[in-house]
């Protein structure tokens, strides 16, 4: 299942991940090439690689970080067949940490570029004061790249920094009406003063510049342009990048839903298999019981005829003996007939128990028994000899001759067909090591598990001198009756 979920996640996320990795490769390569071009151009024009040595602290970290990011992303992106064994081994080492390395390379390669661009728009290392004219172009372009590489929050922060720097440059550093004359400060002051005094040479120069379309630009012009570019770029990047990231962020939820469906399917199959296994075991147990019964069955007609003969011979001698033989005959007939019936009514089971109690009373004259039966006893059905087994267990392991602690039998039939049975007795002096009960209760529990499965509750406990058993039976399903009857 984990392999299936991994393949689904890969199929859903691979297109976006590949496109994002290609973009990062392009940005890494462009950053390195532009830096090399900048060094070369400055060297040719000024004889130095940078206008100011302080720029090395911004450009070199950006180049190194982007070289590392380019090498890593190319290692992951390139087909494995085109890589040498050493590169394939290096790729295998990096794959388990791919998510962490992706995040690290994205931030480590992009943050130096942002720092370099931020230094440019602040005018760091720029010998002129024209950063407003061209240096905001890189900062404006990075708005779009940031949303893909670092996300929408990083884009929002970068946009605030760029726009805040634009406001500071125009309104505080230069002035809203600052004019770019490309003159020395002294010359610019002299020229602006001459224009205010309407001197001929200044007016003639101004007219010539306007006629040639070379009027000196003011800072407000660039402010308006960059404001539009920055806001439009941010809106586009935030909106379209947001759509992409929302789809990508929804992938874990989709994968989780698929995982839940698969887990539910596996759990359902497991339960079906367990149910089939339990049913097969129950059928096997029934078959074994039937075979055992066939091997050990006593001819019921012979047994009944024998008991009837004993009853007839005992009747002239002792009424109580004849009654006991008759009760024994009824008990044996019920037990033998139960082998051929899957269910009996609660009334039939109670009559059998009462017959058993009467037979035991003729044996022990001082028995102390209290029984109470409530509800419609004709409606509920149960497998035979359940209540009988509990009562027999009380006779086998209990002391039933103490009037202060009698054997109590409580049976309640509910309207929904469920049955509640409670048997409580005083523990005898010859009780087992467990306190009470034995193989009879173990066999009873096994029968309940095979037939009722989860539709029963069996609790036994010992408290001081009393041993109590509580059994609750839910109505059996019809298919069981049809199969076994």
**pLDDT per position as a tens digit, 72-120:** 878 777 766 666 677 667 767 776 777 787 778 878 877 888 888 888 7
* Residue 432 structural domain: 341-484
Provide the token pair at 162.
Answer: 């760029």
Phi, psi of 80 (to 5 degrees): -65, -30
Is the pLDDT assigned to residue 461 strictly greater than 70?
yes
Contact 393, 437 (CB under 8 A): yes
Is the pLDDT assigned to residue 259 strictly greater than 50?
yes
pLDDT value at position 229? 67
User: 411: closest CA among 359, 365, 362, 374?
Assistant: 374
Distance CA 379, CA 346 (A): 7
Regarding whether 128 and 13 lie in a shared domain, the answer is yes
Phi, psi of 467 (to 5 degrees): -120, 130
Residue range 415-438: mean pLDDT, rounded: 74
Residues 439, 444, 449: CA angle, nearest 5 degrees: 125
Last residue of a domain, one of 266, 281, 314: 266
pLDDT value at position 168? 86
Rg for the chain, CA atoms, rounded: 48
Q: Is the residue at 293 inside a domain?
A: no
Residue indicated by tokens 């995982």: 259
Q: Give me the percent of the chain exceeding a pLDDT of 70.
A: 71
Give the pLDDT band (50/70/90) at residue 261: confident
Number of domains in the chain: 2
Last residue of a domain, one of 214, 236, 266: 266
Report the range of poorest mean pLDDT among 331-340, 442-451, 453-462: 331-340
Q: Is the residue at 323 inside a domain?
A: no
Distance CA 214, CA 93 (A): 61
Where is pLDDT greater, at 13 or 23? 23
Regarding whether 150 and 67 lie in a shared domain, the answer is yes
Last residue of a domain, one of 266, 285, 300: 266
* CATH code for the domain of 472: 3.30.565.10
pLDDT value at position 143? 78
Regarding whether 244 and 390 lie in a shared domain, the answer is no
Q: Is the residue at 383 inside a domain?
A: yes
Is the pLDDT assigned to residue 472 strictly greater than 90?
yes
Is the pLDDT assigned to residue 151 strictly greater than 50?
yes
Q: Is the residue at 298 inside a domain?
A: no
Global confidence as pTM: 0.42
Regarding whether 177 and 52 lie in a shared domain, the answer is yes
Q: Please provide the average confidence, as pLDDT, over all residues in the chain.
A: 76
From residue 464, how far is each of 426, 427, 461, 469 by CA, in Å?
9, 9, 10, 14
Regarding whether 469 and 357 lie in a shared domain, the answer is yes
Regarding whether 248 and 382 lie in a shared domain, the answer is no
Q: Is the residue at 118 inside a domain?
A: yes
Q: Is the residue at 314 inside a domain?
A: no
pLDDT per residue as tens digits for the range 233-255:
777 666 666 666 666 666 667 66
Distance CA 380, CA 305 (A): 33
Distance CA 220, CA 154 (A): 28
Report the range of poorest mean pLDDT among 95-99, 270-274, 403-407, 466-470: 95-99
| Run of H or E including 358 | helix 346-363
Report the range of poorest mean pLDDT among 115-119, 258-262, 382-386, 444-448: 258-262
Regarding whether 365 and 259 lie in a shared domain, the answer is no
| Run of H or E including 134 | helix 131-134
pLDDT value at position 57? 86
Where is pLDDT greater, at 296 or 335? 335
Give the pLDDT band (50/70/90) at residue 19: confident
Q: Is the residue at 120 inside a domain?
A: yes
pLDDT per residue as tens digits for the range 351-404:
988 888 888 887 777 888 899 999 999 888 888 888 888 998 888 888 888 888
Contact 412, 377 (CB under 8 A): no
Regarding whether 247 and 347 lie in a shared domain, the answer is no
Residue-wise DSSP of 230-278: HHHHHHHHHHHHHHHHHHHHHHHHHHHHHHHHHHHHHHHHHHHHHHHHH
Q: Looking at residue 172, what DSSP letter applies? A: I
pLDDT value at position 374? 93
Distance CA 427, CA 405 (A): 10
Residue indicated by tokens 């379309």: 213
Q: Is the residue at 324 inside a domain?
A: no
Largest CA distance in the chain: 162
């Amino acid at each position: 299942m984990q392999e299936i979920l991994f393949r689904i996640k890969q199929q859903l996320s691979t297109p976006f991940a590949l496109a994002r990795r290609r973009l990062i490769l392009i940005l890494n390569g462009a950053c390195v090439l532009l830096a090399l071009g900048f060094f070369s151009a400055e060297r040719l024009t000024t004889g130095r690689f940078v206008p100011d040595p302080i720029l090395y602290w911004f450009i070199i970290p950006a180049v190194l970080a982007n070289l590392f990011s380019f090498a890593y992303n190319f290692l992951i992106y390139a087909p494995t067949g085109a890589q040498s064994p050493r590169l394939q081994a290096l790729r295998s080492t990096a794959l388990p940490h791919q998510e962490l390395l992706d995040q690290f390379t994205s931030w480590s390669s992009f943050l130096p570029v942002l720092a370099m661009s931020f230094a440019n728009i602040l005018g760091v290392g720029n010998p002129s004061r024209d950063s407003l004219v061209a240096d905001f172009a890189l900062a404006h372009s990075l708005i779009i790249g940031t949303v893909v590489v670092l996300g929408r929050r990083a884009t929002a922060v970068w946009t605030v920094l760029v726009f805040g720097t634009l406001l500071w440059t125009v309104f505080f550093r230069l002035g809203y009406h600052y004019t770019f004359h490309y003159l020395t400060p002294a010359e610019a002051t002299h020229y602006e003063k001459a224009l205010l005094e309407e001197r001929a040479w200044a007016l003639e120069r101004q007219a010539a510049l306007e006629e040639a379309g070379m009027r000196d630009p003011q800072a407000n012009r660039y402010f308006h342009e960059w404001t539009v570019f920055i806001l439009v770029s941010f809106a586009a990047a935030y909106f379209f990048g947001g759509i992409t990231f929302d789809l990508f962020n929804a992938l874990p939820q989709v994968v989780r839903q698929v995982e839940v469906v698969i887990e539910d399917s596996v759990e359902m199959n497991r339960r079906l298999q367990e149910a089939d296994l339990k049913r097969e075991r129950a059928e096997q147990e029934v078959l074994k019981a039937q075979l055992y019964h066939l091997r050990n069955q006593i001819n019921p007609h012979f047994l009944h005829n024998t008991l009837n003969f004993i009853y007839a011979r005992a009747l002239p001698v002792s009424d109580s003996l004849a009654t006991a033989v008759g009760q024994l005959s009824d008990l044996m007939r019920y037990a033998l007939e139960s082998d051929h019936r899957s269910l009996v009514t609660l009334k039939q089971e109670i009559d059998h128990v009462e017959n058993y109690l009467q037979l035991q009373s003729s044996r022990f004259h001082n028995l102390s028994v209290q029984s109470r039966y409530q509800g419609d006893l004709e409606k509920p059905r149960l497998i035979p000899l359940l209540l009988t087994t509990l009562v027999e267990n009380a006779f086998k392991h209990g002391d039933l001759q103490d009037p202060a602690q009698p054997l109590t039998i409580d049976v309640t039939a509910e309207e929904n067909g469920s049955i509640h049975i409670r048997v409580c007795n005083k523990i005898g002096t010859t009780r087992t090591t467990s306190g009470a009960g034995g193989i009879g209760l173990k066999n009873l529990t096994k029968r309940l598990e095979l037939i009722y499965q989860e539709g029963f509750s069996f609790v036994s406990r010992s408290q001081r001198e009393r041993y109590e058993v509580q059994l609750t039976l839910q109505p059996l399903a019809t298919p069981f009756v049809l199969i076994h009857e």
